[in-house]
Amino acid sequence: MIVDLPNTTVSKVSKALVHIREEGGAVALGRVLTLIIVTDFKGIEPAVKAANDASREHPCRILVLADDKGVSKKAARLDAQIRVGGDAGASEVIVLRAHGEAASDQQGLVTGLLLPDAPVVAWWPNEAPESASKSAIGQIATRRITDAASQKDPHAYLRHLSKTYAPGDSDFAWTRLTLWRAQLAAILDQPPYDPILEVIVTGAVDSPSTDLLAAWLELMLKIKVKLVRTARGKAVSGIRGVKLVRKSGDIEIVRNVPDVATLIQPTQPTREISLPRRSQRDCLSEDLRRLDPDDLFGKVITKSFSDKTPKPSISKAAKGK
């Protein structure tokens, strides 16, 4: 069911929710958190789709706060839409479209619509705020999720995040690494336990996840990691491969096609492993599983990224782009 509330107020939206609950039953039962999505008008539907899919694992109230970014010349106005039932997955969705000055008080727009006594998670799927933890929405959130890959300069954003990071901050560029980190940890947990002499991480020139993977390996292995960038490919983007150099033989994971990588190990047959590029839904579902700070991400981002961080090696393919 979809209920449109044009030119409305937060108070009227809250009353409409109560009315819907009385008519359709206690729809708020089982909601474990409030997810606030901050985006522009164009980003509403993609974000809602990912959140609806993730809500099947994490039933929640989804508040979408969309700003026209000054594009519209309309006077201050708030248009709302409430989606429940089949139009909202396992959640209830409230879309707030704020025009003009109505968008100036973000915290005031959502405070009256939060689930009582439930954690708040904030997600910026597109443009991130200057400082997530100090932003109007970030101040009321337990977890704050951004996406470096959606910023104008992903690599510069990671350096910026290292300065503004606060416990509770997270980024999809890190969440996309979960499968890579699990695979590498499993490999290194097998004999022979030779020291790693050299590490080479290869990835697309616009991939912040490649930067974070190199930083994580450097931090864990306590060895300088060589980061090589390649031109962004049409078939495969993001991380392309990791090479671990050891005296007993090199280990390589190479991803030349989407979703599947080739694992090369000494004395073992070459085999293919599933290593897909994770969707927004996958990343959001994982980030909603834990509401405590991700200490490892905090350590990687604050210790490995700064204006003094050495520039990575650039491959010929990337130079020629």
| Full domain range(s) for residue 13 | 2-146
pLDDT tier for residue 309 given thresholds of 50, 70 and 90:
low
In the listed set 255, 274, 293, which residue is the last one of a domain according to the structure? 274
Query: Does the residue 166 lie in any domain?
Result: no
pLDDT tier for residue 321 given thresholds of 50, 70 and 90:
very low
Residue 208 shares a structural domain with residue 77? no
d(CA 287, CA 289): 5
**Residue 2, Cβ neighbours under 10 Å: how many?**
13
pLDDT digits (tens, 9 = 90+) for 47-99: 999 999 998 888 899 999 999 775 656 688 999 999 987 766 667 899 999 99
For residue 192, cis peptide bond before it (omega within 30 degrees of 0): yes
Residue 189 shares a structural domain with residue 103? no
Residue 17 shares a structural domain with residue 139? yes
Query: Does the residue 88 lie in any domain?
Result: yes
Please state the domain count of the chain: 2
In the listed set 146, 166, 200, which residue is the last one of a domain according to the structure? 146
